[in-house]
Structure formats: C-alpha cells, structure tokens
Amino acid sequence: GAVVSQHPSWVICKSGTSVKIECRSLDFQATTMFWYRQFPKQSLMLMATSNEGSKATYEQGVEKDKFLINHASLTLSTLTVTSAHPEDSSFYICSASPASGNQETQYFGPGTRLLVL
Amino acid sequence: GESVGLHLPTLSVQEGDNSIINCAYSNSASDYFIWYKQESGKGPQFIIDIRSNMDKRQGQRVTVLLNKTVKHLSLQIAATQPGDSAVYFCAERETSGSRLTFGEGTQLTVNP
C-alpha cells in the first residue's frame, strides 16, 4: 500500500519550454502533497506544499509563477516548470500524506529527472 | 535556522555486521521523526518513524532510537545486507506542522 507514482520519470526539454510533472497517489487519498527538488549528492529541498482544492504554499525563494502547482483531486497533483532554463535541471520528487490512517507520514514518488538543454 | 544534520556522511560496513546511522537535530519543537532510504535515481522509501513520546521503536531488522535530551536520533540496521546500500535520510516534523525537514544524508555502503 501507499504507492505514489510520477510521470514522466525523465524528461529532456529545450530552454524556454514548459514541462508538466504529474504525481498520483495510487491506493490512497492524499489530503496534502509536497514537491521537492534534489540536486546530486544533496538532500531534499521542499519547494511547496499543496492541499486539495486550495492554493499551494511555497517555500521562501521558490517562485510561484515559475513552478505552478495544481492539486485538483485527492489523488493528483501537478507541477509545471514554466519557461525552463538549464539551472532548473534537477530531480523533482513528490510526496503525499494519507487523508486517513497515519497522516503524518509522507510517501514519496520515484522522482522525475528533468534536463533542460 | 533550524536544521537536521548527520555526524557521518559515509559509512562502510561488512555484510552481516550491524550498522548505526546517526542524526542530530536542533529543533526542540519537533515531535515526529522519520528515517528514509534512497537508492540511486529513486525516491525516498519510508523505513521507520518515531514520535517524541517514545525513545525506541523496532521494525524488521531496523531500530530507531530517540534521545530528546541531546536531540539525537539513530537508525540501527541488523545484519546489514548489500541491498541496504543506499543514502539514508532522517527527517523531522515540527509540532502541529506538516512540512518535513531533511538531514544531509549518509551514504551506507555494504561490502560483501
């Protein structure tokens, strides 16, 4: 149980284009979903917290107009990197907290590797 | 600001030995802690968690110890196997909050 998927698993795009990453909780409903980015050999850095049906809360230093987050249902959140640039290349990981049961734990997706050329 | 850090960035052990991975945290308001395992190119995998009203919790081959006096968390892996090789992160959550703060990670290498 508690499986989270991400799509795509990797993407290569040209500078200036937008990329959408999906995060789905497959066997549970998620009240809250989180988006992280991780650079090589570094820890996870929280970008934003999203609750179903409301606006995402962004961490300090994360541009909300560049990283658009939509959490339209209890099983799906999307992150859109708009006008991507090479410095946006990273490993993007989502997590989800169950709406019932152990709501404190976050279950992570497999990550999406983004390479911007 | 508040942070979660690790004493050792790398740890090498022989297969079959026990491993101990340590984590120091500085936020006294944290009430919930989680250990995650991350294999190369994958997302973090939940291993075990512990609440601040406990000082020990055991799982399958893993034990987490919490010492609130010195703000220290450890993960013990019994009979370490090659498949345990990964980066291990501790994470803490503040009381009444939802966000997790991750430590720097420890690379565990198990030698056959």
Q: What is the pLDDT of residues A38-75, one digit of tens each?
A: 998 889 999 999 988 888 999 999 999 999 999 889 99
For residue B38, what is the nearest residue in chain A, using CA coordinates? Answer: A110
- Asked if residues B73 and B6 have their Cβ atoms less than 8 Å apart, the reply is no
pLDDT score at B88: 97
pLDDT score at B17: 96
Encoded tokens for A55: 């606006």
Interatomic CA distance for residues A1 and A8, integer angstroms: 21
CB contact under 8 A, A109 and B43: yes
- Asked if residues B105 and B4 have their Cβ atoms less than 8 Å apart, the reply is no
Encoded tokens for A106: 């976050």
Cis peptide before A8 (omega within 30 of 0): yes
Using the 8-state DSSP alphabet, how is residue B104 labeled?
-
* Portion of chain A with pLDDT greater than 70, in percent: 99
Tell me whether A104 touches chain B (CB under 8 Å). yes
pLDDT score at B6: 41
Q: With bands split at pLDDT 50, 70 and 90, how would you rate the model's confidence at A104?
A: confident
Interatomic CA distance for residues B20 and A34, integer angstroms: 29
Residue A69 has, within 13 A of its CA and on its CB side, a CA count of 26
pLDDT score at B50: 96
Tell me whether A97 touches chain B (CB under 8 Å). yes
3-state helix, strand, coil split of chain A in percent (to 5) is 5, 55, 45
In the stretch 24-83 of chain A, residues with CB closer than 8 A to chain B read: 32, 34, 42-46, 49
Encoded tokens for B13: 């052990």
Using the 8-state DSSP alphabet, how is residue A99 labeled?
S
- Residues of chain B below pLDDT 70: 1-8, 96-97
- Asked if residues B77 and B60 have their Cβ atoms less than 8 Å apart, the reply is no
pLDDT score at B96: 65
